[in-house]
Amino acid sequence: MTEDELIWRIAGGSGDGIASTSQNFAKALMRAGLHVFTHRHYPSRIRGGHTYTEVRVSADEVKSRGDGYNFLLALGDSFARNPQENAYYGNEEIKPLSENLDELHEGGVIIYDSGLLDPSEIENFDERVEENNWHVYDIDLRSMAREHGREVMRNTAGVGVTCALTGIELEWIEELMESAMPEKILEPNIEILNEAYDMIHEEYDVDAPDVKVPSGEHDEEQVLLSGSDAIAYGALDEGCRFIAGYPMTPWTEVFTIMSQNLPEVGGISEQVEDEIAAAALAIGASHAGAKAMSGSSGGGFALMGEPLGLAEMTETPVVLVEAMRAGPSTGMPTKPEQSDLEHVLYTSQGDSQRIVFAPGTAAEAYKQTRKAFEIAYEYQIPSIVLYDQKLGGELANVPASVFDEEPNPSLGSTLTEAELEDAPHSDTGKYKRFQHDVEDGVSPRSIPGQKGGRFLATGNEHTPEGHISESPENRVAQLNRRVQKTEAIRAELDTSSKDDSHQTYYGPEDADYGLITFGSQQGTVEEAVDVLNENGHSVKSLGVSDMMPFAEEEVAEFIESVDEALVVEMTASAQFRGLMQKELGLYGEKLSSLLKYNGNPFEPAEVVEGFEVNIIEDDELDHNRMKFVPSAGD
């Protein structure tokens, strides 16, 4: 086979070290000058259950998991339940080898741990191997690991075999291990790595590898990180020094990163009794003069609905992050979906006044989290960063320079004590913190403890001093002012230059067709655009991040510029397309939807297929992995 990239899948059970091994592997190859991108698949279990990570490696930029995989390292699930019986979850032990085998490219490589796995348990294995021209290496990784260390080091043995078969220089891996592993386990791991590598060289002809890792070079320093890392660093660089939260997958990653880093910068992290408290703490800390955040995933965010409304009514700046996973209810806790969009846009009673950004990449996540803080504190409004299990957990190389930015610890629209002296007060000395007629609707706030700044913050409608009032005149004045803030923010976000905009444009400007997506599917859609244009179609894409206020003008302009557009999203009810039509009030005949909600994110080839079958051939998909919803024009 001739492939210019490696898509390496390491598969085992939860507890087999899949995440750490794949992370080290990816980082080693990034250091070697290559572009890397990972995709994680794991069950909601502590031990056992089919788990894999794919590391896609290329000399050129990669923006998605890619299509299928061409190299399988099947460790087997050493924590499998009832491996010999016909259990509810099937034969778990063999799954790392048997699951998704159809997605292994023709001519691909299989390494499996013969210490644990017996392919005769897989139907027609030998025939399929022959048919697909797969190169199979049965290696007793378990014995190798046991001999020099512990059984879990099977993964290192597998990496050694991988390197030998793909031409990866061992020193890259060794160097990484030295920086990532504690002394005690380093030595046996290095031994196992070399033993496996040498064994392959001795016993097999590897001069002509089946899948070769390309060589590459970065033109600037790279870092390997996830969307969760980027969100946390964005928050820290905006001066966020307070977080409150309650664990929930996949939001826990941001919470963990913040909790580990905050003490080093004199910040405070609070793990509290529930998500209602978490959001309320963030509001309390912000009110008292700290830059604060909280967050959760679907169900936990549902509990934050009421505090969110309190922040809107009291105009307390706060940033919440929402890491989507498949719902409703507990849904599929470790699987990505984008179906919390409407939940996040509209939850909590009354007319909502909030900001929602849905970044498409780690770099965007960093920038947009910063912007979310900046706007929250300037405009005294809650901002939400909406992402998902995919963006949060996938690792990719990003230029380090993206993060080489100055911090912004500004509390935004606040007054100092000196400024408070000249600020308007009631006759009895209360600071008019919620003045009716102010620029952009923003009335600067005082902070408790400041002399001359006292006021009442309340979730009730209130007068300029903050006192509860149901006067119709005051109500209209206050609500109009709060709404006015959203319009001012819309104007601030609406940049005339496409480079500065949160929306990401890709492909030839004069293309006939458009693909529109939001959040984490952006990179996948862009890769589909490349393939579609190679296939002779004329296609461009738009990745939307500004969900509220919605990027009306930019999206409308994009739709106007194409004959037809396919909206790609991980929801079952086309929520994003619905948002566009609600906001724009038009284009029902131009927009159709490609939906996927089976727990796996789109692969580029699926977007290509969805476009070609439905838009070009006007036909129907002959499987149920995805769903097509035609436009009103069809």
Interacting positions 392-411 with another protein (CB under 8 A): 400, 403-407, 409-411
Considering only 110, 236, 324, 516, the residue that binds another protein (CB under 8 A) is: 236
Tell me how far apart the 2 most distant CA atoms of the chain are, in Å. Answer: 91
Restricted to residues 555-584, the positions that interact with another protein (CB under 8 A) are none
- Mask of contacts with another protein, 444-483, x by CB under 8 A? ---xxxxxxxxxxxxxx--x-xxxx---------------
CA distance 216 to 196: 25
3-class SS letters over 385-439: EEEEHHHHHCEEEEEHHHHCCCCCCCCCCECCHHHHHCCCECCCCCECCCCCCCH
**Which residues have C-beta within 8 Å of that of residue 344, sequence separation ≥ 6?**
301, 322, 356, 384, 386, 547
The nearer residue to another protein, 93 or 378, going by C-beta atoms, is: 378
| Contacts to another protein from residues 243-262, by CB under 8 A | 244, 261-262
Q: Which amino acid is at 313?
A: M
Nearer to another protein, 267 or 392 (CB): 267
Ranges within 283-322 binding another protein (CB under 8 A): 283-285, 287-292, 306-307, 309-310, 314
Residue 2 DSSP one-character state: -
Spell out, one character per residue from 190 to 229, where the chain touches another protein: x when CB under 8 A holds, - when not. Answer: -------------------------------xxxxx---x
Question: In the complex with another protein, which residue's Cβ is closer, 114 or 269?
Answer: 269
CB of 110 vs another protein, minimal distance in Å: 31
CB of 28 within 8 A of CB of 172? yes
Distance separating alpha carbons of residues 304 and 296, to the nearest angstrom? 9
Please tell me whether the peptide bond between 549 and the residue prior to it is cis, using omega within 30 degrees of 0.
yes
By CB under 8 A, residue 277 contacts another protein: yes
Please report whether residue 426 would count as binding another protein according to CB under 8 A.
Answer: yes
Which residue number, 229 or 337, has a Cβ lying nearer to another protein? 229
| Contact track, another protein, 27-46, x by CB under 8 A | x---x---------------
Asked if 535 touches another protein (CB under 8 A), the answer is: no
Residue 365 CB, shortest distance to another protein, in Å, is 13
Q: Is 424 in the site for another protein (CB under 8 A)?
A: no
Q: Kindly list the distances between the CA atom of residue 361 and the CA atoms of 110, 227, 432, 579, in Å, as whole numbers in the listed order.
A: 31, 7, 42, 21
Q: Which of 2, 428, 497, 624 binds another protein (CB under 8 A)?
A: 428
Nearer to another protein, 265 or 632 (CB): 265
Residues 341-400 that bind another protein (CB under 8 A): 400
**Least gap, CB of 463 to another protein (angstroms):** 8
Dihedral angle over CA of 535, 539, 540, 544, nearest 10:
-110
Backbone angles phi and psi of 92, in degrees to 5: -70, -35
Copy the structure tokens of residue 20: 């750490």
Q: Which is nearer to another protein, 287 or 577 (CB)?
A: 287
**Distance from the first to the final alpha carbon of the chain:** 42
Local structure of residue 363 (DSSP, 8 states): H
Number of residues that bind another protein (CB under 8 A): 85
Q: Which of 148, 241, 335, 371 binds another protein (CB under 8 A)?
A: 241
